[in-house]
A and B are shown apart, each in its own frame.
Chain A
Amino acid sequence: MNTNIAVKDKPRKNALVLFIHKLGSPPWFYDFTGKFIPWLWLIFVGLAAWALYLGLVRGPADYLQGESVRIIYLHVPAAWASLLIYASMAVMAFIALVWRIRIVEILAMCSAPIGAAFTIVTLTAGSLWGRPTWGTYWVWDARLTSELVLLFLYLGVIGLYNAIDEPRKAARAACLLAIVGAVNLPIIHYSVKWWNTLHQGSSVSLLGGSSIDASILWPMLIMAFAVKFYYLANLLTRARVRLLEQDLRKGWVKDVVREQRP
């Protein structure tokens, strides 16, 4: 008798599929992500400190912009993060609406305040860079206005999510708004090409290289890499807290709290 036939016929799950299934379980997600968060913060702090040292201490002033160029080590990575976070929020919102995965819903909703924070940093740092460089804090040009619209979209998602008492209904409504709002992302990106703007065109391109000197480019790229770790660490921290709040009466949450020191 060949017993291997039965073993072969049994459907086997791919390791990645199993991992995704596990991530859908709130206790497992809470426990698993808790191990990574301190490391993510540590990497962020290390990379950000390195980027700031290269940019603010070692880096030269720009021949045209002078010392104000140092603001771009904050402004550009924050601007890229504001777009990337919105894009990831919209993708997660789509997954949450189609497959109704609660943790993905939570992750999408927890992305909104972080994205809003980066958009505020982008707008304020850009405005403070604009005053010495352009001679004005603000102009209603396409890039600045579309970035401001992005902030309103983030605030809209946060407001809609908090306006409805039932968390899953609230998440579904806010996810829909997040998906609709994604139309603003190409507008922000291409605004400097489609319209005549005071804001300069892209200086860094994934395929076309960069027109920025390496002494300025590298601190900016390192900082852009660092903020991804900030986003991940902050997102997972927020998602874990949201899970505790939503599963308040469940056994696993009580076990987690019992294990913690009072």
Chain B
Amino acid sequence: MSHLPFIWAAYSIGTVVLLWCAFAPLVRKKSAVRDIRRLIQLEEPARDTDT
């Protein structure tokens, strides 16, 4: 039995899982920053009209 497919499969799955785990927070950060920018844009005109 050739062991090569098992080695390739193990490292491929490991790489995908660890890459996903590393990039998931970056995607979340992008979405959080977008929300915060939207909040800033909503608040700033309101503050300008108050003054």
Contact = CB atoms under 8 A, between A and B. Distances in A.
Most buried by A among B4, B21, B24, B35: B21
Nearest to B7: A70
Interface residues of B, number: 27
B46 interface: no
A202 B43 CA distance: 60
Given A78-B14, A117-B17, A121-B13, A262 B37 contact: yes
Interface string A75-118: 10010000000000000000000000000000000000110010
Interface of A is mostly: helix
A78 B11 CA distance: 12
Range of interface residues on A (Cβ < 8 Å): 35 or more
Interface string B21-48: 1101110110011011101100000000
A234 B22 contact: yes
A131 interface: yes
B32 A244 contact: yes
Contacts of A114: 21
Interface of A: 66-68, 70-71, 74-75, 78, 113-114, 117, 120-121, 124-125, 128-129, 131-132, 230, 233-234, 237-238, 240-241, 244-245, 248-249, 253-254, 257-258, 260, 262
